[in-house]
Chain A
């Protein structure tokens, strides 16, 4: 039994008011709120168990190292990775994708080599590939979405040519909520000799993910969307790819020996983790993933599917609201604009007065905005603690927007 009211009580911030109204937090796509278990883990990490990791031999250093390293196993379990040595800690998806860009792609991209992307990628999964275009002559090949916002895996596979080195694709659109059949894309790409990087920033929050079943070469996630601290995250990298990668950032912790004329590196994943990491952040992420697995990813997905169905029905019932994206099986993420030219910033300002937090803007998805013919949209994105009552609050607040701005 998924008791959403009891779950809400685990998130202290949900009890607060905004502008004199109960907070209706529908900006989970940007960042999720934190359960008490995460806040406690962070507090305990600093108050009782803090020291640098992998360094000293004293009690606290051993303790913090143990706590920190245990999270690698938690992330592996959460993502369905059999081998936790394939998990590299990062500060988030952005760092994970840049690691792949600098560590794996950059040394092997020749002018004219291609990277295949969908138009609904987040800038974190676009800009690093632009670096390769600007600096190494890579060609970016864009795959369009269908009118309903879905992405045909075959269209992605068809875009892969003999010069394609990498397919970089999201598992769930942060704007449209579209879920992509990444397993099919991976299979088709591997048959054609291209590697696949999956941006799992949104999908891992809402769906059970099994990276071993998906089979992608790289699967990146970010902690702050997973109800964990900002500055935490991970990327799953298949062993074969890891062995091909050169280190990205250099510094402490990632080396075996350093001399005046020589440096040797630690074994992966440490090879890719330079400097003092976000120790307590990762420990907090471990607590967040334990919390989610405690609720059960299947249960979370089922709860959010019912929210999606209800929100879809209510929002599609507003004939002055244009909802972008209606792919079958999409996540509970709704981007919309309003007839009559009310700017998304106007809408979000009015919604905020009603205590409703949504995102307004381009959502770090410039090519998708171009594709949709919009400069900005509003986005309501739901999480494991949202309720159908909050969908009603959103709709009521939107009706006020329509009254004021329509």
Chain B
């Protein structure tokens, strides 16, 4: 079960049937993403396996599986930055236990965005999801 923000995004995307509009929306979401501090863009937060540079900074509040998962992120590519924002709507605010149960591939497929992403970028998306799952598993 995804968060209401994400459900809202799915609804919005349902209205945007043209790829240009979907891209525009994703890019705008990326633009709204606050940048990370220089000190946060370090090897520990860098996500390997993406065609462009991606950093994800986890913020876990609380203890155990009831802890809340949040992350911030940034990329030097605007579309990827937008995808980070999309993943935030999917994950941010879930408990660690809930986050572990999210089937990201299935959820993202509901945006019909996956088809529009090059395989290299899809691999990058996979790498980002894998990192978030790692963060949730470690918490």
Q: Smallest CB–CB gap between B36 and chain A, Å?
A: 15
Chain A residues within an 8 Å CB radius of B117: 349
Mask for B20-61, Cβ within 8 A of A = 1, else 0? Answer: 100110010000000000000000000000011000000000
Segment of B1-9, B73-81, B95-103, B126-134 in the binding face: B73-81
Mask for A319-361, Cβ within 8 A of B = 1, else 0? Answer: 0000000000000000000000111011001101100000011
Q: Does A154 contact B (CB under 8 A)?
A: no
Contact A349 B121 (CB under 8 A): yes
Contact B116 A353 (CB under 8 A): yes
Chain A residues within an 8 Å CB radius of B121: 345, 349
Q: CA separation between A341 and B74, bound complex, in Å?
A: 14
| CB contact under 8 A between A352 and B118, given known A343-B76, A346-B78 | yes
Q: CA separation between A12 and B78, bound complex, in Å?
A: 35
Chain A residues within an 8 Å CB radius of B80: 343, 345-346
Chain A residues within an 8 Å CB radius of B23: 350, 353, 404
Q: CA separation between A400 and B24, bound complex, in Å?
A: 11
Chain B residues within an 8 Å CB radius of A346: 27, 77-80
Chain B residues within an 8 Å CB radius of A361: 51
Q: CA separation between A375 and B79, bound complex, in Å?
A: 17
Contact A375 B76 (CB under 8 A): yes
Contact A353 B19 (CB under 8 A): yes
Contact B79 A345 (CB under 8 A): yes
Contact B27 A404 (CB under 8 A): yes
| CB contact under 8 A between A405 and B116, given known A345-B51, A400-B20 | no
Q: CA separation between A360 and B19, bound complex, in Å?
A: 21
Mask for A393-404, Cβ within 8 A of B = 1, else 0? Answer: 000000010001
Q: CA separation between A353 and B79, bound complex, in Å?
A: 13
Chain A residues within an 8 Å CB radius of B19: 353
Q: CA separation between A225 and B76, bound complex, in Å?
A: 31
Q: CA separation between A349 and B27, bound complex, in Å?
A: 12
Contact B20 A349 (CB under 8 A): no
Q: Smallest CB–CB gap between B19 and chain A, Å?
A: 6
| CB contact under 8 A between A349 and B79, given known A404-B24, A405-B27 | yes
Interface centre among B20, B75, B78, B118 (most CB of A within 10 A): B78
Chain B residues within an 8 Å CB radius of A341: 78
Q: Smallest CB–CB gap between A341 and chain B, Å?
A: 8
Contact of B77 (CB < 8 Å), options: A345, A400, A404 = A345
Q: Smallest CB–CB gap between A404 and chain B, Å?
A: 6
Q: CA separation between A361 and B121, bound complex, in Å?
A: 13
| CB contact under 8 A between A343 and B118, given known A349-B79, A404-B24 | no
Interface centre among B24, B75, B79, B116 (most CB of A within 10 A): B79
Mask for B87-122, Cβ within 8 A of A = 1, else 0? Answer: 000000000000000000000000000001110010
Q: CA separation between A375 and B77, bound complex, in Å?
A: 12
Q: CA separation between A341 and B118, bound complex, in Å?
A: 20
Q: CA separation between A360 and B80, bound complex, in Å?
A: 15
Q: Smallest CB–CB gap between A380 and chain B, Å?
A: 17
Chain A residues within an 8 Å CB radius of B27: 346, 404-405
Q: CA separation between A292 and B77, bound complex, in Å?
A: 39
Mask for A100-133, Cβ within 8 A of B = 1, else 0? Answer: 0000000000000000000000000000000000
Contact of A349 (CB < 8 Å), options: B24, B75, B76, B118 = B118
Mask for A367-406, Cβ within 8 A of B = 1, else 0? Answer: 0000000010000000000000000000000001000110
Contact A342 B118 (CB under 8 A): no
Q: CA separation between A380 and B2, bound complex, in Å?
A: 41
Chain B residues within an 8 Å CB radius of A345: 51-52, 77, 79-80, 121
Nearest B residue (CB) for A20? B19
Chain A residues within an 8 Å CB radius of B77: 343, 345-346
Q: CA separation between A360 and B118, bound complex, in Å?
A: 13
Contact of A342 (CB < 8 Å), options: B24, B51, B78, B116 = B78
Q: CA separation between A360 and B27, bound complex, in Å?
A: 19
Q: Smallest CB–CB gap between B23 and chain A, Å?
A: 6
Nearest B residue (CB) for A352? B118
Q: Smallest CB–CB gap between A9 and chain B, Å?
A: 29
Interface centre among A343, A345, A360, A400 (most CB of B within 10 A): A345
Q: Smallest CB–CB gap between B28 and chain A, Å?
A: 10
Interface centre among A349, A360, A375 (most CB of B within 10 A): A349
13 contacts between A and B (CB under 8 A): A341-B78, A343-B78, A343-B80, A345-B51, A345-B52, A345-B121, A346-B77, A349-B121, A353-B19, A353-B116, A360-B51, A361-B51, A404-B24
Interface residues of A (CB under 8 A from B): 341-343, 345-346, 349-350, 352-353, 360-361, 375, 400, 404-405
8 shortest interchain CB distances as A-B pairs: A343-B77, A345-B77, A345-B52, A346-B78, A346-B79, A346-B77, A345-B51, A343-B76
11 new A-B pairs (CB below 8 Å) besides A346-B79, A360-B51, A375-B76?
A341-B78, A343-B52, A343-B75, A345-B52, A345-B77, A345-B80, A349-B79, A349-B118, A361-B51, A400-B20, A404-B27
